């Protein structure tokens, strides 16, 4: 059964080195978290799975890593300067600031009940910064609030360097920054986070077909990462809730400990973005309403060879928060089990390809040189397989080692004991995390066994 409360996850994350409060020794900073030794492994594994699915396993997607700091005109023409806001209400009595759309009554403070509150006012969520030695109105720009704009501004560069034709996509994973007024629910809503975004470009008229395709493909990918079907829902965004650029949006919701919330959004952005950033907008008959662009130096269009004309493609955007994804995967994997002997254990039942530690090698006696030497030799051999992190666990207590690795989600534990150094074939004991079953494998056969295990489990 998945984790029921966020407190269960927060406690486990700190205790086992997944996630720490940012700047904790100075009292912490709201909405900022640091990924520890196991957290960064899990995060990298989830990113690798996304990249493999989006780029390596498809023949119509290219990768990109755009700069975090970009020209300020990017955000002028993207619409972020005008529309990337939250409505805020200030209470004159308790001095708290609240998002109007989260309040029970915008005329009454949620914290103290006072009616001495301001009318809702728009608050821009972008972090403003200055570039260069002079601080003035000409030197400002922003930390990017999303990775998407770097894809749109590089559209022509990618097309020219790869000779891509429609349909095709550009994928990117990277940091984004939003000055959230009310960060909450652990790493679900934070000020600094990573996004996994695909901008998939297609012909106008084919956009609805591709939108439906990507909604279903993204749901299936999350199922492949271990999320349960019953914990996933679709929310069809309509009316005033649609973003200004969107023709249609489907949010993929997951049942986090605090309820169903957005895990990933799949939006039909039409020709809004490329149309906003292109010069000579009047030449393309754009369907989206865009701000007149007086600064762009490039036409962000592609030639339709069948009709022999230039057109601005429509764009389908599956956009997922990596931190939210990690939280969902941890929530789903969290399991508390009662054992036949009356004890209990906590297990993170990650899919093997996501597990932070793939295999733990444990010597039965840490002060027995022959056992330690064989354990280290096996660790080094398995590490060279390229599966991920292989850990040499030299605690000297195998039982406690099993429980620790259950709790951090290690799929396989290998114990090197006296039989390993005394018997022919150097047999070692291999324990499965989920079943707790143990089998004996000769040391020479261990690499092949481990490879087959991960192939069959994934």
Is residue 178 part of an annotated ligand binding site? yes
Of 34, 7, 15, the C-alpha closest to 407 is 15
Residue 338 annotated as binding site: no
218 is an annotated ligand-binding site residue? no
Q: Is 323 annotated as a binding residue?
A: yes
Q: Which residue's entry shows tokens 């040391």?
A: 443
Q: Taking Cα atoms as reference points, which of 272, 298, 281 lies closest to residue 153?
A: 298
Q: Does 322 belong to an annotated binding site?
A: yes
Residues facing 236 on adjacent strands: 250
Residue 81, annotated ligand binder?
Answer: no
Please provide residue 350's backbone torsions phi and psi, each rounded to the nearest 5 degrees.
Answer: -65, 150
Q: State yes or no: 321 annotated in a binding site.
A: yes
189 annotated as ligand-binding? yes
Is 41 annotated in some ligand binding site?
no
Cα distance between residue 174 and residue 195, in whole Å: 6
Task: Provide the pairing of β-strand 389-392 with 427-432.
Answer: unpaired
Is 407 annotated to bind ligand?
no
Q: 319 among the known binding-site residues?
A: yes
15 labelled binding-site residue: no
The dihedral through the CA atoms of 180, 183, 188, 193 has a sign that is positive
**Residue 180 among known ligand-binding residues:** yes
CA atoms of 301 and 279, how far apart (whole Å): 10
Question: Is 303 marked as binding a ligand?
Answer: no
Strands of 19-84, DSSP E: 19-21, 33-35, 61-63
Flag whether 179 is marked binding.
yes
Residue 307, annotated as binding a ligand: no
Spatial separation of the C-alpha atoms in residues 362 and 355, rounded to whole Å: 18
Ligand-binding annotation for 166, yes or no, is no
What are the residues facing 199 on neighbouring strands? 170
CB 251 within 8 A of CB 214: no
- Known binding-site residues for substrate equal 99, 146, 193-197, 317-321
Binding site as annotated, residues for ATP: 178-180, 188-193, 262-263, 321-324
Which residues line the annotated binding site?
99, 146, 178-180, 188-197, 262-263, 317-324
């Amino acid at each position: 059964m998945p984790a029921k409360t966020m407190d269960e996850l927060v406690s486990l994350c700190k205790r086992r080195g997944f996630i720490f409060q940012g700047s904790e020794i100075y009292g912490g900073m709201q909405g900022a978290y640091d990924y520890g030794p196991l957290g960064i492994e899990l995060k990298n594994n989830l990113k690798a799975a996304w990249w493999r699915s989006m780029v390596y396993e498809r023949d119509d997607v290219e990768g990109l890593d755009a700069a975090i700091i970009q020209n300020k005109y990017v955000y002028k023409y993207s619409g972020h300067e005008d529309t990337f806001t939250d409505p805020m209400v200030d209470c004159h009595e308790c001095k708290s600031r609240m998002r109007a759309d989260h309040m029970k009554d915008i005329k009454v403070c949620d914290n103290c009940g006072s009616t001495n509150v301001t009318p809702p006012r728009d608050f821009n969520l972008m972090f403003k910064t200055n570039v260069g030695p002079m601080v003035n109105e000409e030197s400002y720009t922003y930390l990017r609030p999303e990775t998407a704009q770097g894809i749109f501004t590089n559209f022509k560069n990618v097309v020219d360097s790869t000779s891509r034709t429609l349909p095709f996509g550009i994928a990117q994973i990277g940091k984004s920054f939003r000055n959230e007024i009310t960060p909450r629910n652990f790493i679900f809503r934070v000020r600094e986070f990573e996004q996994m975004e695909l901008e998939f470009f297609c012909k106008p008229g084919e956009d609805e077909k591709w939108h439906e395709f990507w909604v279903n493909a993204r749901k299936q990918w999350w199922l492949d990462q271990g999320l349960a079907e019953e914990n996933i829902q679709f929310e069809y965004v309509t009316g005033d809730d649609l973003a200004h650029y969107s023709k249609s949006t489907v949010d993929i919701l997951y049942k986090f400990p605090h309820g169903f919330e957005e895990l990933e959004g799949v939006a039909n952005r039409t020709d809004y973005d490329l149309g906003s950033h292109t010069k000579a907008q009047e030449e393309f008959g754009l369907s989206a309403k865009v701000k007149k662009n007086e600064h762009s130096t490039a036409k962000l269009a592609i030639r339709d060879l069948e009709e022999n004309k230039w057109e601005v493609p429509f764009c389908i955007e599956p956009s997922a928060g990596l931190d939210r994804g990690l939280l969902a995967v941890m929530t789903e994997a969290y399991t508390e089990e009662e054992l036949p002997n009356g004890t209990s254990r906590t297990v993170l039942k990650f899919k093997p390809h996501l597990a932070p530690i793939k295999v733990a090698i444990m010597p039965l006696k840490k002060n027995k040189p022959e056992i330690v030497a064989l354990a280290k030799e096996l660790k080094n051999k398995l590490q060279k397989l390229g599966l991920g992190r292989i850990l040499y666990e030299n605690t000297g207590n195998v039982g406690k080692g099993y429980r620790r690795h259950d709790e951090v989600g290690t799929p396989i534990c290998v114990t090197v004991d006296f039989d390993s150094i005394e018997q022919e074939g150097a047999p070692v004991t291999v324990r499965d995390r989920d079943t707790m079953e143990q089998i004996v494998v000769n040391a020479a056969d261990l690499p092949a066994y481990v490879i087959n295990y991960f192939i069959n489990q994934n």
